[in-house]
Chains A and B, each alone.
Chain A
């Protein structure tokens, strides 16, 4: 095969991944727009409270008053599902932001200065990557009581190492570049170089990792709530799906269907966002 042909292959890949990436981004943004619309207009769509029992005498199929039906205790599924959007986004956005801040504060100096600090960071990440995360989260939630803010803190505390590793790797490949060396030569201080010269390069891969971190946080919170380890005062999809476990045996399929659609759509949208970002920002990767 001639070099020309190889070039055209490379081109096709780059193009193909861009097209794929932008298609993923389009679907993702459309889905997110719908989800956000529901999440923001709850007050206009329903006057029911999400966790209040006794709207109906028992499990009721979807009807005009309760568009998604009610559960065994007469709670309105529609209102709870929509409030679930807020919970999921709240948990994922806050915990991911925290995770990213810690990851940057640790990963930047570790990559930039290297040495002992870097060694310690790598061992800590090794540690967190080699223990079963979900069991650790369960364990910590039991110890610290499952309030929503504790859950967010625990998720962040156990998630930053893998993103810090990404930051570090990116810093390592950036710090030898000419413009960083130039900044050093003209006497900029290390903090300036790290934040204004290196950090911008770290952002693209971090965006992808943060998106994945968001969907991970949504699934973790829902998983905890499903197991009865969530915050009982917060409307979570996980707890709805725990309620569905009994309801589906007496015909209450709606208790399973609606929260499942919303959690899957949200996680799917964010995963597509990560995929799309990855393809667009990193077109060399083979797709």
Chain B
């Protein structure tokens, strides 16, 4: 495995209950955790590395794009990590297709 230290770390923005991964975090501030990058790691593997299960996770984003299980993370990526009860409501629902609340639809923009 490539030495992760040679790559820019992942910038993980935590929300809701997941903010607890950082001590003394506040709900009205950005809660950001820098995590080592691992080459060829998928989003699913990344979530597992944090000690979370898929059922802990809501709608998440990688550089502003809805995260899918199989997405390969890139160095320096901004990851928005939301808990299971934080998901897109109207106006963004059609961005879905990520597999967490529905695994039978793969659509972007609708």
A, B bound:
no
Interface residues of B (CB under 8 A from A): none
